[in-house]
Structure 1
Amino acid sequence: MAQVLEFKLPDLGEGLTEATIVSWLVSVGDVVAVDQPVVEVETAKAMVEVPCPYGGVVTARFGDEGTELPVGAALLTVAVGAEGAGAAAGGAAPAAAAPVQNGAAGEKSGASGNVLVGYGTSAAPARRRRVRPAVATGGAVPERREPPRAGSAAVPTAVPAAEPVAGPVAVISPLVRRLAREHGLDLSRLTGSGRDGLILRSDVERAVTERSATPTATTVPATPATPATPATPATPATPATPVTPTAPNAPQGHRTPLRGIRGTIADKLSRSRTEIPDATCWVDADATELLLARAAMNAATGPSAGPKISVLALLARICTAALARYPELNATVDTARREIVRLDEVHLGFAAQTERGLVVPVVRDAHTRGAESLSAEFARLTDKARTGTLTPAELTGGTFTLNNYGVFGVDGSTPIINHPEAAMLGVGRIAAKPWVHGGELAVRQVVQLSLTFDHRVCDGGTAGGFLRYVADCVEQPAVLLRTL
């Protein structure tokens, strides 16, 4: 007799509480091996392939591509045992059994206990299955149904929107219920586009959009007067007010929910500006000698020649040397204990613009790397950022950030500190400008450097000393040789 185990969306670490299904890697009826990736999800930090800790036959999947699920929500069920595998081979679904929560039968089923490769590999302790209470908008939560067996009657689809559903509503995600409740939607009047009529988040958002397009329509159709209430006819001059957050005078433009990576960026920047008393100082520097030094490095031939060095790598090497002189800026503030925590290692973050938004990959132990190693690591992380394959570990733990916004063709900016760090160095474009050099006016390659710092960790003298040292190294790269 096959045992059906339920695999839930695991805790992906780094404080992540939800993920969006990007693509399913298996289908119902497929045989999966232990730790085989079954779904690709996108979190606020990266795209991750989630492996299943059970080996057997997939009997159900919960959530279509594009569905956002909270941690702990069911992803799929797997029938573990010879009977389940035999049923799949014969083209029929395995015998139905009560789903078992993650880890409840891990040892008995031979499961690995892994919830995600690289994240917590110990099996979860056995726990009793909890019964969720009824929800006001949809009544009791229905039990999840397995796919119909071969030859069985097809599962009926969702009831058309014009006829309310009597009894439980086919909704699994609490996020869908919350979204419907916030917009005043009756879930019993929606037609689900998911499997077996399951109502998805996209169904609710579509209903909200359609209602916004016709603001005079009411959420609940007008009920004709009954004989019991004949004395209250509807007044044409005062139609019922729609139960919708968009009033007639509210802006009707396109609305994009702040979720996923965009929501994480918004939360982090808001927290930075709310919590950190930041200040910014800046200076123009003549980068002509730095560019000449880089050209000489990259033009070298013979045994001493190596991989090409990027300008960003040289600036990063200058930053690590400056932080060695001014360690106050490689710190964070423990607000709960009112303490400044000065950090020993420099984990250098750098801003990278991608199609998914702005991300900040982190070069670990940047203070131990030379220009070649920094160039290689920047290239590797940038490539992963563009393909959306950065891991949460590669996006967290930074102690100082280097932001090269000059690639966008702008001269200057006032960077927002990447909370909980204490400072960020911004670099504008390097452009030919008139400059006094050697007592004469000349055309030189000039760059603006700006430092935003947490005024709690240091005063302007320290911040100014840091920035001046960086500018001196940019103008005279030989200055950096003193610290090597």
Structure 2
Amino acid sequence: MPDVGEGLTEAEILKWYVKPGDTVTDGQVVCEVETAKAAVELPIPFDGVVHEIRFPEGETVDVGTAIISVDTTPGAPDEVPATAGTPASAAPAEAAPEPPAEPAKRQAVLVGYGVSEASTVRRARKTGSAPDRPKGRPAAELNGHGASTANGFNAPAGERPLAKPPVRKLAKDLGIDLSAVVPSGPDGTVTREDVHAALALASSEPVMAVAPAAAVASPETVAEPGVRETRTPIKGVRKATAQAMVASAFTAPHVTEFVTFDITRTMKLVQELKLDPAFAGRKVSPLLLVAKALLVAIRRNPEVNATWDEAGQEIVRKEYVNLGIAAATPRGLIVPNIKDANAKTLPELATALGELVATAREGKTSPAQMQGGTVTITNVGVFGVDTGTPILNPGESAILAFGAVKDMPWVHKGKVKVRKVTTLALSFDHRVVDGELGSKVLADVAALLEQPKRLLTWA
């Protein structure tokens, strides 16, 4: 099981597309696995015949575990087959000396590695690297932290990653393997932000909303006869959600502020934009204008688009906005983000938002699409919820909850009338965002949506 994204420690095998005896070619997708949030297809990097499928569908497998072997020279005399289901990392520390080498006639190899030549020399092990394969095991197999770089995965570094003690403790507490984290600090040092980014890959949006029943249902859910309890294994989406919630809630001091206002004019503008030729073929919704209003508010208050770097003791302000949108999917709530959303026009933002939601609901969101978010919107209003106190995504300093839009009596131009009213909630990291800044951002978003013509005059 290769590490298909920084911070992964395991993945569930969703579906095998091949079986023993099938012929495979270089680049052919052989299985689909579910990481913390995304379904990822794994290709085979060579030609051959499937020798063994080591784990069934529905099995959760640790990164570095052999999952499939392939005979790259079918028809040749067999080698002793590898034990089915044995992870590469389970090889004994000291194997018996190997007999004198003979030309390899048949090699069963695994996803992520090509065929290696037979050798009588045992390679010296680096500290922390995977042990040499035992006698009789396929010549090349998936172990360590990923597959070969030729297949687009991280290769085992074999060296202890550079990180300050507080960062190491943070990674340990969050269950993040530092050797699988992409460093961004000086001289390849892993920063606190890098650890949070790795965790964010597997994070879902912990909001005051309920995912569809399919998101929590599991084929492994057990309801024993006569016992009034149902037990569901904690893995995949649920496990990632729990990790993200705990990491964020107990790392960043949260503050949530609320504002209730008249959104009638924005709702009318939504209907007008649906008829505008510039939005032909694009979905126009209130969420689109909420997103635009938040982007304008961030431009007016750029300090909110920042993160806390504990290791470097710095507040890192981002000059770009990767806007996360919480999306309900069959696998649960995930938060892909729109890259450089601040640089997009309103029609471009509509296109990006539509594509993001459609991809998420199809379960095809890639790990890269969930990395690097800077601020998030969660639309709890679609569930009929007035508002909530959303928890920050790790590595971000603000999240905006958009509540349900309802007809309510409201004082308008000195008279009580029925108007469209909604409530926004902004949670923020009080280490980065003080009360004044958070209040300004929330007030700006509300003012823009109450008088949407300000989207032109303030932008």
TM-score (ref. length: structure 1) = 0.66
Work out which of the residue numbers 292, 302, 306 in structure 2 matches 1:317. 292
**Whole-angstrom distance in 2 between the partners of 1:304 and 1:43:** 35
Return closer, same or farther for 1:410/1:121 CA change in 2, 3 Å cut-off. Answer: closer
1:415-434 matched pairs, under 5 angstroms: 415-434=390-409
Maintained 8 Å contact 2:279/2:347: no
1:242-281 matched pairs, under 5 angstroms: 253-281=229-257
**Residues 166-215 of structure 1: CA deviation (Å, up to 9, x unaligned):** xxxxxxxxxxxxxxxxxxxxxxxxxxxxxxxxxxxx9xx89xx79x879x
**Whole-angstrom distance in 1 between the partners of 2:150 and 2:334:** 21
Maintained 8 Å contact 1:351/1:360: yes
Maintained 8 Å contact 2:308/2:314: yes
Maintained 8 Å contact 2:337/2:370: yes
1:401 maps onto 2:433 in alignment: no
Per the TM alignment, residue 119 of structure 1 is displaced from its structure 2 partner at its CA by 6.5
**Whole-angstrom distance in 1 between the partners of 2:375 and 2:117:** 44
Return closer, same or farther for 1:18/1:305 CA change in 2, 3 Å cut-off. Answer: closer
Maintained 8 Å contact 1:60/1:77: yes
Return closer, same or farther for 1:122/1:334 CA change in 2, 3 Å cut-off. Answer: closer
1:69 maps onto 2:44 in alignment: no
Work out which of the residue numbers 275, 299, 302 in structure 1 matches 2:275. 299
Per the TM alignment, residue 309 of structure 1 is displaced from its structure 2 partner at its CA by 2.1
Work out which of the residue numbers 23, 28, 43 in structure 1 matches 2:35. 43
Per the TM alignment, residue 305 of structure 1 is displaced from its structure 2 partner at its CA by 5.9
Per the TM alignment, residue 317 of structure 1 is displaced from its structure 2 partner at its CA by 0.9
> In the alignment, what sits opposite 1:10?
2
Maintained 8 Å contact 1:273/1:416: yes
Return closer, same or farther for 1:287/1:116 CA change in 2, 3 Å cut-off. Answer: farther
Maintained 8 Å contact 1:10/1:116: no
Maintained 8 Å contact 1:278/1:452: yes
Return closer, same or farther for 1:67/1:433 CA change in 2, 3 Å cut-off. Answer: same
* SS of equivalent to 1:261: helix
Amino acid at match of 2:241: I
1:344-359 matched pairs, under 5 angstroms: 344-359=319-334
1:378 maps onto 2:370 in alignment: no
**Residues 252-276 of structure 1: CA deviation (Å, up to 9, x unaligned):** 6212222111100111011111011
Work out which of the residue numbers 2, 6, 22 in structure 1 matches 2:14. 22
1:105 maps onto 2:137 in alignment: no
Per the TM alignment, residue 115 of structure 1 is displaced from its structure 2 partner at its CA by 4.2
**Whole-angstrom distance in 2 between the partners of 1:411 and 1:100:** 55
**Whole-angstrom distance in 2 between the partners of 1:263 and 1:254:** 17
> In the alignment, what sits opposite 2:98?
none
**Residues 377-433 of structure 1: CA deviation (Å, up to 9, x unaligned):** 222121221121110011221100011100000112111111120010111011111
* SS of equivalent to 2:308: strand
Amino acid at match of 2:389: T
Max radius of gyration: which structure?
A: 1
Return closer, same or farther for 1:440/1:48 CA change in 2, 3 Å cut-off. Answer: same
**Whole-angstrom distance in 2 between the partners of 1:51 and 1:63:** 16
Per the TM alignment, residue 341 of structure 1 is displaced from its structure 2 partner at its CA by 0.9
* SS of equivalent to 1:477: coil
Return closer, same or farther for 1:306/1:23 CA change in 2, 3 Å cut-off. Answer: closer
Identity %: 41
Per the TM alignment, residue 117 of structure 1 is displaced from its structure 2 partner at its CA by 10
Give the unaligned 5+ runs of structure 1.
Answer: 1-8, 86-94, 127-201, 215-250
Per the TM alignment, residue 97 of structure 1 is displaced from its structure 2 partner at its CA by 4.8
Per the TM alignment, residue 107 of structure 1 is displaced from its structure 2 partner at its CA by 8.4
Per the TM alignment, residue 118 of structure 1 is displaced from its structure 2 partner at its CA by 9.9
> In the alignment, what sits opposite 1:471?
446
> In the alignment, what sits opposite 1:290?
266
1:120 maps onto 2:169 in alignment: no
Amino acid at match of 1:441: V
**Whole-angstrom distance in 2 between the partners of 1:105 and 1:377:** 42
Amino acid at match of 2:443: R
Maintained 8 Å contact 2:328/2:334: yes
Maintained 8 Å contact 1:51/1:116: no
* SS of equivalent to 1:433: strand
**Whole-angstrom distance in 1 between the partners of 2:257 and 2:349:** 26
**Whole-angstrom distance in 2 between the partners of 1:429 and 1:394:** 27
Work out which of the residue numbers 411, 415, 419 in structure 2 matches 1:444. 419
* SS of equivalent to 1:345: coil
Return closer, same or farther for 1:49/1:116 CA change in 2, 3 Å cut-off. Answer: farther
**Whole-angstrom distance in 1 between the partners of 2:250 and 2:157:** 40
Per the TM alignment, residue 283 of structure 1 is displaced from its structure 2 partner at its CA by 0.7
* SS of equivalent to 1:442: strand
Maintained 8 Å contact 2:51/2:108: no
**Whole-angstrom distance in 1 between the partners of 2:264 and 2:76:** 70
With CA pairs under 8 Å and 6+ residues apart, which has the higher RCO, 1 or 2? Answer: 2
Give the unaligned 5+ runs of structure 2.
Answer: 78-103, 119-139, 159-217
Maintained 8 Å contact 2:28/2:44: yes
1:483 maps onto 2:458 in alignment: yes
**Whole-angstrom distance in 2 between the partners of 1:341 and 1:331:** 5
TM-score (ref. length: structure 2) = 0.69
Amino acid at match of 1:80: T
Cα root mean square deviation, aligned: 3.3
**Residues 364-388 of structure 1: CA deviation (Å, up to 9, x unaligned):** 1110112212222222121221121
Amino acid at match of 1:260: G
Maintained 8 Å contact 1:50/1:116: no
* SS of equivalent to 1:22: strand
Return closer, same or farther for 1:356/1:326 CA change in 2, 3 Å cut-off. Answer: same
